[in-house]
Structure 1
Amino acid sequence: MTKIDKLEQAIKEAYGQESVLLDCTDDKAIIKYVQNNYIEYIVISHDYVSMFNGSYFAPIGQTVEQARKHAWDKYKKTI
């Protein structure tokens, strides 16, 4: 099992089977997942086995597209 496989497994356990790893570096990742029937995004730190210290982007007060854009902007700033 590769490091990415371990990270994807940890993501699915934490955020559900529908969660998707969109991109990652050696210590940051951007994830898309479904929470309460809404698509949400998270930019999170990781060590390939566990995740910690994240920023969540939900479509509360903004559209899903705006949440996606803000998540990608945050991810690009952190890498």
Structure 2
Amino acid sequence: MYLLGLSLILLAMKYFEVGPIANWPWWWIAVPFGLTAVWWTWADWSGYTKRKVMEKENAKKNARIQRDRDRLGLNIHRKKNK
């Protein structure tokens, strides 16, 4: 997402001719867009995106379970018998 933000900022700076970026060739502006596409392709192919979504969902689920246990007073720590 950071690469996409950088790409859009560079595009706006080139389009509105701001600073030294106005003198850069257009292909320099297109490079971050290409890197963004490569990153998203790799993230989807490798399962990185799905894994991050699952981690976030599990964290929310565990927080909800813990909150409900606290509200019900079931969060008593007991020693396990061995």
* Both proteins in one fold, TM over 0.5: no
Q: TM-score, normalised by structure 1?
A: 0.24
**Higher share of residues assigned helix:** 2
Larger Rg: 2
Q: TM-score, normalised by structure 2?
A: 0.23
**Higher share of residues assigned strand:** 1
